Amino acid sequence: MAFKMKKFGFACAGALALVLAGCGNDSNSSSDNKEKTEQTDQATKTRTLTDAMGHEVKVPEQPKRVIATYLEDNLVALGITPVAQWSVTNGVQDYLQEELKDIPTISYDLPLEAVQSFKPDLIVMDSASMVEGDKYDQYNKIAPTYVIGKEVNNDWRDELTKMGEVFGKEAEAKQVLADYEDKATEAKKEIKDKAGDISTAAVWVTGGKFFIVSDNLSSGDVMYNDLGLKVPAVVKEISEKATGNWSEISLEKLVTMDADHLFLIESDDDASKKALSDKLWNTIPAVKSGNLHKLGTESPWLYTGAIANTKIVEEITDALAK
C-alpha cells in the first residue's frame, strides 16, 4: 500500500511539474512570440525615399540582405555587411577583404539570376547606367532597388552621404567624412612642409598597356584636390578628354611627363612585366631620378571611397613626407 501511495505521489508531483512547466512555457512562448513579432514588424517596416532617377522606393528600415555593387567601400565605412560583393575576372576589392573575406562574390554586371539567388531585401545601384532599359524594373521585382546617382562617376562624398540616408546612418556618414577631411588636411600640410610643392602622377600597367589617372577622379582626386599636389601637363591634357577614371597613354607620351614623383600600380602579367622592362620606360624623368613608388593591384588606388582614399592618403604621405 505504501508503494502505491508513493507511486501516486510521484504521479501527482509529475503532473504538477508538467502543469507548472506548461505555465512557464506559456509565459516564455508568449514572450518569444512577442519578440518575433517585433522583429518581423521591424523587418517589414519601410521608409519611402526618392532615388536619383525619381523612383519612389520603399526601403526597409532595417535591411538584412543588401547588394550594393561598386558601393562596398561605403557599406563597410558605415558598418554594413553586404550579402554579396562585387567581383571581376581578376578578383575583388582586395583592400576591403579584411571585412569582406567571407562574403561570396557576384559578377560586376549583376546577372538577374545571380542577384535573385542571394534573396536580397534591398538593392542599391551606383549609377543610372547600371539600370538602363528595362533593367530597373527587373531588379525591382527581386527587391526594392535604389539608384544613388545619375552619373557614371558620382562624387564619392555625395554617394556616402546618400548611403547614410538610405540606411538611416546619416550621423555615421557625417563622422566618416569629417575624419577623412581631418586626415587629408593634416597630410597635405605634412607633405608640403617636408617635400614642398611637388607634382605627382599615377600610372597603372595591365595587359602590357599603360593607363593614367584623371586629375579629378579616383586617386587623382586625392592627389590633386585633397592633398594639393601639382598636376603634370600631360595629366591635364589627357584629363580634358577622359571618359573614365583611367585613360590609356602610350609609353612615348609617358616619357614626356614632367612629374616629380610617379606612383605605379603594377599588374603581375607577363605583358606588363615586358612593358616595364622596355628601355624607354627608364627614361621617364621620375623613374630616372629614383622617384618611382611601386604599388600592387591589391592597393586601393584603382577605387574610390572613404576607406580607399584614406589608405591612398597614407601611402602618399609615407612616400613623400619622409
pLDDT in tens, 288-311: 999 999 998 888 999 999 999 999
| Residue range 189-320, CATH number | 3.40.50.1980
The pLDDT assigned to 64 comes to 96
The residue behind cell 562574390 is 105
- As annotated, the residues of the chain forming the CATH 3.40.50.1980 domain(s) are 46-168, 189-320
Compute the distance between CA of residue 215 and CA of residue 226 in angstroms, rounded to an integer: 11
Q: pLDDT band for position 40 (50/70/90)?
A: very low
Kindly tell me if the per-residue pLDDT of 153 is higher than 90.
no
Give the DSSP per-residue string, 137-186.
HHHHHHS-EEEEESSSS--HHHHHHHHHHHTT-HHHHHHHHHHHHHHHHH
Compute the distance between CA of residue 92 and CA of residue 300 in angstroms, rounded to an integer: 11
What's the rounded mean pLDDT across residues 109-117? 97
Contact 191, 197 (CB under 8 A): no
Compute the distance between CA of residue 105 and CA of residue 89 in angstroms, rounded to an integer: 11
Contact 174, 70 (CB under 8 A): no
Q: pLDDT band for position 37 (50/70/90)?
A: very low
Kindly tell me if the per-residue pLDDT of 87 is higher than 80.
yes
Taking all residues of the chain, what is their mean pLDDT, rounded to a whole number? 88
CATH superfamily, domain at 46-168: Nitrogenase molybdenum iron protein domain (3.40.50.1980)
Pair type for strands 46-50 and 292-296 = unpaired
The residues, ordered by sequence, that sit 6+ positions from 296 with a Cβ below 8 Å of its Cβ are 265, 266, 268
pLDDT in tens, 219-248: 999 999 999 999 999 999 999 998 889 999
The pLDDT assigned to 6 comes to 33
Residue 124's beta-bridge partner residues? 146
Q: pLDDT band for position 41 (50/70/90)?
A: very low
Radius of gyration of the chain (CA): 28
What's the rounded mean pLDDT across residues 29-46? 55
Q: What percent of the chain has pLDDT over 70?
A: 87
The pLDDT assigned to 20 comes to 32
pLDDT in tens, 47-67: 999 999 999 999 999 999 999
The residues, ordered by sequence, that sit 6+ positions from 222 with a Cβ below 8 Å of its Cβ are 184, 309, 312, 313, 316
Q: Which amino acid is at 15?
A: A
Kindly tell me if the per-residue pLDDT of 25 is higher than 80.
no
30: helix, strand or coil: helix
The pLDDT assigned to 154 comes to 83
- Which of 67-71, 117-121, 151-155 is the least confident region? 151-155
The residues, ordered by sequence, that sit 6+ positions from 51 with a Cβ below 8 Å of its Cβ are 57, 146, 147, 148
| Closest by CA position to 215, among listed 229, 195, 197 | 229
The pLDDT assigned to 151 comes to 81
Q: What percent of the chain has pLDDT over 90?
A: 80
The pLDDT assigned to 43 comes to 52
Compute the distance between CA of residue 255 and CA of residue 129 in angstroms, rounded to an integer: 35
